[in-house]
Amino acid sequence: MPRATLDEVRTRFGRCVEQRKDPMLFASMIAEQVGICDENGNRFRRADGAPTLGDKPTRLPTDFPFDLLAEAMIGHDWQEVLGISRHQDTNFITEMRSRFGNRSLFREEPSAAMGPSVWGNVAAWSATIGGLYQANFLLGYQQAPFDLVDLFPVRPAVFWQGGERYIGILGPYEPAPAVGPGEEYPDMSMSALWVEPGPMRKYAGKTLVAKETAAIDISGGQMLAKAKTGGESLKFRENELVLDLITGQTNNWKLGMLTDAAATAYNTYGPTITNPKGTARTIPNDIVNPLNDIGAFQRSDEQMANLFHPVTDNPIDVMMDTCLLPTPLGDIAKWLLGMGSWQAWNQNQANPAQQAPGNFPNSSGDGKNPYQNVLKPVVSRWLHQRQTASTTQSDPNRSAGLGLTGAAVYRWYRLNPAEFACRRQMWPAASVDISPGDYVMATQGIIAAQAFDIAVQAQVLNPYAIQRNKSA
């Protein structure tokens, strides 16, 4: 917001106060421009209820310097009002009455010598700052280059049945029973299989505008940057949690069978499950399958063809359409999946006329690459870092690496993100606004604040929807 628009903001704020009698509505006007809400004040939200920015914001948060907003909304003496001036009058109430009592921009109550109008304008300014904070926070979250978070779809809160259980993850226990004419319909069994939800964790941060900070950085540049960093840090946290699941470092998959009172924990990769009849089945989702040629995808398909329901032994048909690769495999995978045609050779015993031992191709055929546009390659620098990082980690906010070396670093994964894991997020971001009753906050050094938190649940929902491919 250049200085030339100061009068425009002052005029719009004055009109908002005079016509609607509510200075706080100006904060909603700014929130609409930066993309937090629509023209009716309805906030934009994702499918899981978390706040998000609209598609077409008309302004950026950095377009509104705090000092110009303060001058437009509070007046030329905004520094004295906020208590950050070096020349503040000791008789503060008298000074405010004399300075602001007759301004048409502010509303005074006839029953009181000093009504709450000034404080209302300060609160509106603080609420506007809170909206700018949240907009920049969301910008930081949505633009952060943490590639694996957006791989998994967001979901609304899951309805838990039978306590904290997800039911029906792997399909029904048995076919629908036969019913004779006139017989009562049987109840469908929902207790055959259930998965216990993973733990819920909360991560948070805050951004404060203190009097001392405002005096140094009243334009708000550094403070808005701090809010953006807060959004980036929360997405960083989600990236760490998602990596924990993909690499198998977090083992929170617990399966309950039939009428079990508690779920049994299994390894994410290659668990052996014994059904109620005593038959043991191993989920073949952990294989030695280096990505050397297009045959690796065929070998992956062969393992997927051996997936069976852990209770009924019925075949499980899955489609793992995402191929997740560390950085060194990126170009190879793009080439294998992107080439349009595939040439297959047929080898038979050498003809004696060739006068050489060994097998020689005697026929070939060209055809469409069967994996083109079927598998989506996702190349992740973060996956490569996790696989090669040390197995020890001193930072409590970071996960340890796998310590892979040599050919082992070429580990890749095939998965269906929608079925393998889910995320639930809640962002009750709230601005701490100054109102007539709590202006004492300014004497404590706080003029405005914004708190951000995210409650995340990330877990393995279905190990049949992911496959780990190793070089050895």
Class of residue 391 by CB neighbours under 10 A (exposed 0-12, middle 13-18, buried 19+): exposed
Instruction: Determine the number of helices (DSSP H) and then strands (DSSP E) in the chain.
Output: 13, 17
Question: Which tokens hold the place of 100?
Answer: 């602001």
- Helix crossing, 117-143 with 66-73: angle to 10°? 150
HSE (CB half, 13 Å, CA atoms) of 317?
Answer: 0
Q: Considering the domain boundaries, does residue 142 fall inside one?
A: yes
Task: Indicate the length of the chain as a whole number.
Answer: 472
Q: Is residue 93 part of a domain?
A: yes
Q: Please report whether residue 77 resides in a domain.
A: yes
Neighbours of 166 (CB within 10 A): 20
User: Which neighbouring-strand residues pair with 45?
Assistant: 51
Whole-model pTM? 0.80
Closest CA to 93 of 126, 118, 124, 121: 118
- Is residue 282 situated within a structural domain? no
Q: Is residue 378 part of a domain?
A: no
- pLDDT at residue number 411: 95
**3-state secondary structure string across 126-149:** HHHHHHHHHHHHHHHHHHCCCCCH
Choose among 261, 237, 52, 61: nearest CA to 164.
Answer: 261
Q: What is the mean pLDDT of each run of 10 residues along the chain (472 residues)?
A: 61 68 73 87 84 86 84 76 58 43 37 45 79 89 89 72 66 79 80 75 81 74 87 92 92 79 85 80 91 87 87 82 91 81 66 56 73 86 95 92 94 92 68 50 66 83 92 88
Whether residue 432 lies inside any domain: the answer is no
pLDDT of residue 331: 85
If one counts the domains in the chain, the total is 1
Name residues whose C-beta falls within 8 Å of residue 9's C-beta, 6 or more positions apart in sequence.
1, 68, 69, 72, 73
**For residue 416, what are its two tokens?**
């269906």
Residue 203 has a pLDDT of 87
| Structure confidence at residue 91 (pLDDT) | 43
Cα dihedral sign for 114, 116, 119, 120?
negative
**Does residue 122 sit within a domain?**
yes
Q: CA nearest 380: which of 329, 416, 339?
A: 329
Rounded to the nearest 5 degrees, what angle is found at the Cα of 271, between the Cα atoms of 386 and 161? 95
SS3 466: strand
Query: b/e per residue, 395-433, with b = 16+ CB within 10 A?
Result: eeeebebbebeeeebbbbbbbbbbbbbbbbbbbebebbb
Closest CA to 13 of 259, 440, 24, 244: 24
- As given in the structure block, the two tokens for residue 278 are 């005593």
Measured between alpha carbons, how far is 156 from 426 in angstroms, rounded to an integer?
Answer: 10
Task: Give rounded-to-5 percent helix, strand, coil for the chain.
Answer: 35, 20, 45
What is the domain range of residue 98? 3-154+209-233
DSSP state of 437: G
251 within some domain = no
pLDDT at 104: 34
